[in-house]
Amino acid sequence: MLPDNNGNLGQYSGVAIWGSSPSIDALRKHVYIATGNTYSVPENVSQCQENQNSSTVPTHPDACVEPDNHGNSILALDLDTGNVKCLPPGPNVDADFGEAPMMLSAQVNGSKLDLVVAVQKSGFAWALDRNNGSLVWSTQAGPSGIGGGGIWGAATDAKRVYTNIGNSGAKNFTLKPSNKVTTSGGWVAMDSGSGEILWSTANPSNATSYGPVSVAN
């Protein structure tokens, strides 16, 4: 998931796969994973990032991210070889995916589409087309945070995508459709085909919400 260090010290490390187990698409022979941050980068990349931070208009895509650096990404790997088969051209937001992508099928613009969805510690939910990795929708479900954002696992009943929002930084979190504001964690339901937020509710304990969500009949 990272460029080859060729045995040299002080280069790339990190981009862990953590949070929950990968999803397997037997039809397409894909294994879907989501990755975290780099722990260390080469000096030239670190200098590039410092220059970007000083720039009034950072480059997009990020010029500091090498093609083989797949940190903070959703990836499809070949089931037989482990090679990267497809990935979206993302914004490279500095926030881990602390959960594996989940597979579902949804109605998108009147047609059934096979999706893979994951929620990031940035608070954004991302839905990708399983056929080619293209972005179908993205939604900021709630505030970002060092501890999340979305964390440990979302859930779906095919019509909706459900996620927790940890809100580890106790930021203002505007609930929908009430527009009430909380600084606690909470839970969010989104339309699976569009990403539209259908409802969000605060943790009644006025605390963070780190536990993964599940769906039951």
Higher pLDDT, 72 or 175: 175
Query: Would the CA dihedral through 8, 67, 45, 73 be positive or negative?
Result: negative
- 169 has pLDDT over 60: yes
Q: What is the pLDDT of residue 62?
A: 78
Q: What is the pLDDT of residue 118?
A: 95
9 — pLDDT class (breaks 50, 70, 90): very high
Q: Where are the beta strands (DSSP E) in 46-158?
A: 74-78, 84-86, 102-108, 111-119, 124-129, 135-140, 155-156
Domain 13-202 coded CATH 2.40.128.630: yes
Q: What is the pLDDT of residue 86?
A: 80
CA distance 119 to 8: 34
- 60 has pLDDT over 70: no
61 — pLDDT class (breaks 50, 70, 90): low
* % of the chain at pLDDT higher than 90: 79
- 214 has pLDDT over 90: yes
> What average pLDDT does range 163-183 have in this prediction?
97
Q: Where does residue 19 rank: exposed (0-12), middle (13-18), buried (19+ CB within 10 A)?
A: buried
Q: What is the pLDDT of residue 90?
A: 54
> What average pLDDT does range 178-202 have in this prediction?
98
Which of 49, 100, 47 minimizes the C-alpha distance to 73? 100
Strand order in the sheet with 111-119: 102-108, 111-119, 124-129, 135-140
This prediction has a pTM of 0.90
Q: What is the pLDDT of residue 92?
A: 54
Q: What is the pLDDT of residue 215?
A: 94
- 79 has pLDDT over 70: yes
What the block records as the tokens of 1 is: 């998931």
82-134 pLDDT, tens per residue? 999 887 655 556 689 999 999 999 999 999 999 999 999 999 999 999 999 99
Beta bridge partners of 18: none
> What average pLDDT does range 50-56 have in this prediction?
82
Q: What is the pLDDT of residue 52?
A: 82
